[in-house]
């Protein structure tokens, strides 16, 4: 998106249609302007984080994130309020625990594990710093996208029998696994 910074709205819906006609599944964008990111989300795409300059809510282990509703304890960041569409929460250096729901268009990022004790409808990324042993746990899976250490899967590719179920998501070799929790 860097080369399009001054070009105004981008026709993402048209781009997505064209790519899908060629059996390609676009996943998301990165480094867009706010207007471009909003257009991408409206077209069903994820907005990937800008690691060095993104205005996200960020919490390092032992340090609460800005905006309230987030508490850090040891190596975990605990979020006690729902995460709304357009909001990103990044637990740098540890696990992220969300005690409520995650709305569509919201994004969770953690260097460690991601735990969601509500409905996960946005995007969740565990092991963003490369931890291949990281996992995502959620009470009700309905995510737009989930990823572990850069290996991802979109909602359309998740088995229907897992939607709405309590699951764990982890890497096995190079394959992202999703299995129900007992």
- Kindly report, residue by residue over 78-131, the tens digit of the pLDDT: 999 999 999 999 999 899 999 999 999 999 999 999 999 999 999 999 999 999
Q: Which of 163, 175, 159, 144 is nearest to 26 (CA)?
A: 144
Residue pair 103/82 in contact by the 8 Å Cβ criterion = yes
Residue with tokens 């931890």: 131
Residue pair 2/31 in contact by the 8 Å Cβ criterion = yes
Mind listing the domains of the chain with CATH numbers? 1-48 (no CATH), 53-180 (2.160.20.70)
CA distance 147 to 109: 9
Helix (H, G, I), strand (E, B) or coil at 21: helix
Q: Which of 130, 73, 118, 119 is nearest to 96 (CA)?
A: 73
Model pTM score: 0.64
Residue 34 host element (H or E): helix 34-42
Render pLDDT for 50-59 as a digit per residue (tens, 0 to 9): 544 334 444 4
């Amino acid at each position: 998106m860097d080369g399009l910074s001054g070009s105004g709205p981008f026709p993402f819906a048209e781009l997505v249609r064209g790519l899908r006609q060629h059996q390609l599944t676009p996943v998301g964008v990165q480094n867009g302007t706010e207007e471009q990111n909003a257009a991408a989300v409206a077209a069903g795409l994820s907005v990937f984080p800008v690691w060095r300059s993104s205005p996200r809510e960020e919490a390092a282990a032992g340090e609460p994130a800005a905006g309230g509703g987030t508490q850090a304890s040891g190596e975990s960041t605990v979020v006690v309020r729902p995460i709304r569409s357009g909001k990103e929460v990044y637990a740098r250096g540890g696990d992220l625990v969300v005690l409520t729901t995650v709305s569509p268009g919201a994004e969770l990022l953690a260097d460690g594990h991601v735990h969601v004790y509500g409905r996960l409808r946005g995007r969740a990324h565990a092991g963003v710093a490369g931890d291949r042993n990281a996992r995502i746990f959620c009470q009700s899976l309905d995510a737009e996208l989930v990823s572990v250490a850069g290996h991802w899967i979109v909602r359309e590719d998740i088995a229907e029998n897992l939607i709405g179920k309590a699951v764990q998501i982890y890497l096995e070799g190079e394959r992202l696994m999703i299995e129900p929790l007992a």
